[in-house]
């Protein structure tokens, strides 16, 4: 088990009971992580009390049809962008009726990427009743390393949001 996988499990073990205690529900909208975030949460006993659902929206058409990401955003900013991550998180929160929603979209590699956003770039969105916050990270390593690091980062974003109330 890699350090990122172990750290993600530890974050989820902290997240689930804290959400239960505070009455917070969660949802995910995942592209490059393809369900790793929601699966890691679901591995924890009690997850059914907090995890409302998750959408793996790997292609643009599904980001638009399921989450409501605008065609303008997809055409002008691309799916790997802060505006897309923001709309994905807002869409997941709306679709699943959760307190918090996190999104991931990026280039896990080995192909893809641009000069501005090389392989390893992942954008995150976190939607709550206070609005949407986005972050961009660049991770190193193999495709699996990037996906696991992105999963861990998304879980930490959720955990920080719950802790901050």
List pLDDT tens digits, range 132-147: 999 999 999 999 999 9
Question: Mean pLDDT over all residues of the chain?
Answer: 97
At residue 2, the pLDDT reads: 78
Q: Is 102 left (phi over 0), alpha (psi -120 to 50) or beta?
A: beta
Report whether pLDDT(4) > 90. no
pLDDT at 12 over 70: yes
Task: Report the pLDDT value the prediction gives residue 100, as an integer from 0 to 100.
Answer: 98
pTM of the model: 0.97
Report the b/e string of 74-89 with b at 16+ CB within 10 A: beebebbbbbbbbbbb
Residue 1: strand, helix, or coil: coil
């Amino acid at each position: 088990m890699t350090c990122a996988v172990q750290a993600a499990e530890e974050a989820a073990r902290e997240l689930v009971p804290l959400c239960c205690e505070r009455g917070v529900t969660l949802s995910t909208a995942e592209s490059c992580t393809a369900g790793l975030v929601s699966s890691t949460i679901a591995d924890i006993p009690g997850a059914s009390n907090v995890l409302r659902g998750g959408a793996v929206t790997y292609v643009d058409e599904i980001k638009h049809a399921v989450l409501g990401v605008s065609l303008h955003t997809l055409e002008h900013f691309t799916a790997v962008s802060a505006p897309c991550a923001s709309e994905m998180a807002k869409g997941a929160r709306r679709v699943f009726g959760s307190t918090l929603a996190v999104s991931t979209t990026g280039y896990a590699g080995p192909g893809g990427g641009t000069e501005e956003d090389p392989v390893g770039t992942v954008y995150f969105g976190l939607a709550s009743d206070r609005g949407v916050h986005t972050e961009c990270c660049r991770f190193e390593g193999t495709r699996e390393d990037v996906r696991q690091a992105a999963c861990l980062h998304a879980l930490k974003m959720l955990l920080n949001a719950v802790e901050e109330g």
